[in-house]
Amino acid sequence: MAVKQRLKTIERNPNERNKDFNEVNLGYTQELAIEEAKRCLQCPNPTCVQGCPVGIDIPGFIKKIAEKDFEGSYKVLKKYNSLPAICGRVCPQEIQCEGSCVLNKVGQPISIGALERFIADWAINNNIEEDIIPEKRINKKIAIIGAGPAGLTTASELSKAGFSVDMYEVFHDVGGVLIYGIPEFRLPKSIVKKEAQLLKKLGVNIFTNIPVGLAIHPKELLEKYDAIFIGVGAGTPKFMDIEGTELNGVYSANEFLTRINLMKAYKFPQSDTPVKIGEKIVVIGGGNTAMDAARSALRLGANVTIVYRRSENEMPARKEEIKHAKEEGVKFQTLTQPVRYIGDENGNLIGIECIKMELGEPDESGRRKPIPIPNSNFIIEASVAIEAIGTNPNKLLLSQFDGLELNKWGYIKADEFGRTSIEKVFAGGDIVTGSATVILAMGAGKKAASVIKQALY
């Protein structure tokens, strides 16, 4: 059977886009979207749906696109996913919905993410909003801690159900990683702002600048609210902790990206927060965070190399992001592990001593274990190094929460529905799973909202 090739979205030219922070992928035009939607087989038992953590009726919303009923399509989407403009852009579709599409067997899967984004953007541009009046008002109060995707979803679900919802966020803006981590060129901040406005319209009270734990004690929340949802994210960066980690110019990806995204360091001195750039930047790691840091650094004019201890095959980053990074000019140095940072007399980074690696037997993660090759040390010149090697749970709140059980990695112990060891207290997103994805955090928020509804209705 001849299956048509999937239609490509419009991407900006790599040599143009690597100089600014505007969005790289421009998505589908109306015509392209309809064409692509028509490729969908409308399977009676759609495998794609099983691949989506929130179980969107994928054939349903795609069918409406093929029929040019964009508003109808949007309604289908919104029933399952309150943040489609975001998920359409940042979900790892190749291992989720698209990875499970039957067309993989005979050709290329449907571009589900791009279609989802198309509809969400269309709705934004045409000011389509859902009916947001809750059926009834319920005289119960809910506190949401943390305004990342998990918290935002829970807040929106519960507010729509008629609860009175107070959301607390320590930053001056809501969005969590969506605003301080994922760069503008992958996810424009205006989209996150839009979602925040929608929440306000729903009647959610948003309190920013509140470090829960220190500014409000958990005890106080337990007294004041009928249920509490914790969605504070994974949040604290790990360092390899090799010699020289204190040197100036050594950053965690979180710090580097926060300075650029949240604090707008790319506009310095028009904005007040600086960030070090220099000529040569090395990014350490192979995940999405490493790609985001590398591509951000590139846009600030640096010569950027990614150093990773395994080979490209083992990189956890999305293939598409690796491709984008390469197109834009990021260099890759794989099978290489930093062992020491080298500084000058002022404490500024000037180089990184690395050792070459080879791959041995598979380890617990199933990936082949990198083993250092003796006496293969060499030095890479660099004035900035960015470590993107993962995160630990943020203790700001957890250290104050007596009686809240944690697992052996220090994340909150919660069941599938977000129930924790304390009655009335629910949790979801990265603070339960460790660093995961936007859609999983949203899914967790949705599930918690459903049990909170059941318990309090």
Partner 1 sequence: MKNKILEKRKLAYGVHEFWIENPIVSKNAKAGQFVIFRLYENGERIPLTISAVNKDSFRVIVKAIGKSTYELCRLNKGDFILDVVGPLGMPSEVKYYGNALVIGGGVGIAAITPIVKELIKEKNNVDVILGGRSKEYIILENEFKNANNLYIVTDDGSLGEKAYPHQFMEKMIQEKNYDIIWAIGPSKMMKACSEVAKKHDIKIWVSLNSIMVDGTGMCGGCRVRIGNKLKYTCVDGPEFDGRLVDWESFEKRLNQYRKEEKIALSKYLQEVGEPTWL
Ligand X SMILES: Cc1cc2nc3c(=O)[nH]c(=O)nc-3n(C[C@H](O)[C@H](O)[C@H](O)COP(=O)(O)OP(=O)(O)OC[C@H]3O[C@@H](n4cnc5c(N)ncnc54)[C@H](O)[C@@H]3O)c2cc1C
Residues that bind ligand X in the complex, under the rule CB under 6 A: 90-91, 145-151, 168-171, 176-177, 181-182, 210-213, 231-233, 235, 257, 288-289, 292, 394, 396-397, 429-431, 435-439, 441
Tell whether residue 430 is a contact of ligand SF4 (CB under 6 A): no
Tell whether residue 417 is a contact of partner 1 (CB under 8 A): no
Contact in structure between 246 and 340 (CB atoms under 8 Å): no
Picked from partner 1, ligand SF4, ligand X, none, the partner binding residue 150 (CB below 5 to 8 A depending on kind) is ligand X
Choose, by CB under 6 A, the member of 27, 59, 218, 418 that binds ligand SF4. 59
Tell whether residue 236 is a contact of partner 1 (CB under 8 A): yes
Residues 374-403 that bind partner 1 (CB under 8 A): 394-396
- Stretch near partner 1 under the rule CB under 8 A, chosen from 88-96, 118-126, 272-280, 419-427: 272-280
Tell whether residue 13 is a contact of partner 1 (CB under 8 A): no
CA–chain centroid gap for 353, Å, is 31
What is the end-to-end Cα distance of the chain in Å, rounded?
52
Nearest CA to 300 out of 256, 331, 338 is that of: 256
Picked from ligand SF4, ligand X, partner 1, none, the partner binding residue 333 (CB below 5 to 8 A depending on kind) is none
**321 contacts: CB under 8 Å, gap ≥ 6:** 288, 291, 292
Contact in structure between 164 and 446 (CB atoms under 8 Å): no
Tell whether residue 42 is a contact of ligand SF4 (CB under 6 A): yes
Tell whether residue 245 is a contact of ligand SF4 (CB under 6 A): no
| Tokens describing residue 188 | 């424009």
**308 contacts: CB under 8 Å, gap ≥ 6:** 284, 285, 286, 290, 315, 332, 333, 334, 335, 336
| Tokens describing residue 236 | 């604290």
Tell whether residue 406 is a contact of partner 1 (CB under 8 A): no
Choose, by CB under 6 A, the member of 7, 32, 33, 56 that binds ligand SF4. 56
Picked from ligand X, ligand SF4, partner 1, none, the partner binding residue 169 (CB below 5 to 8 A depending on kind) is ligand X
The amino acid that residue 41 corresponds to is L
Choose, by CB under 6 A, the member of 9, 18, 93, 156 that binds ligand SF4. 93
Tell whether residue 245 is a contact of partner 1 (CB under 8 A): yes
Q: Which residues of the chain form contacts with ligand SF4 (CB under 6 A)?
A: 40-43, 46-48, 52, 54, 56, 58-59, 81, 87-88, 91, 93, 96-97, 101-103, 110, 112-113, 116, 439
Binding site for partner 1 (CB under 8 A): 170-172, 180, 207-211, 214-217, 235-237, 239, 241, 245-248, 251-252, 254-255, 258-259, 263-264, 267-274, 276, 346-347, 394-396
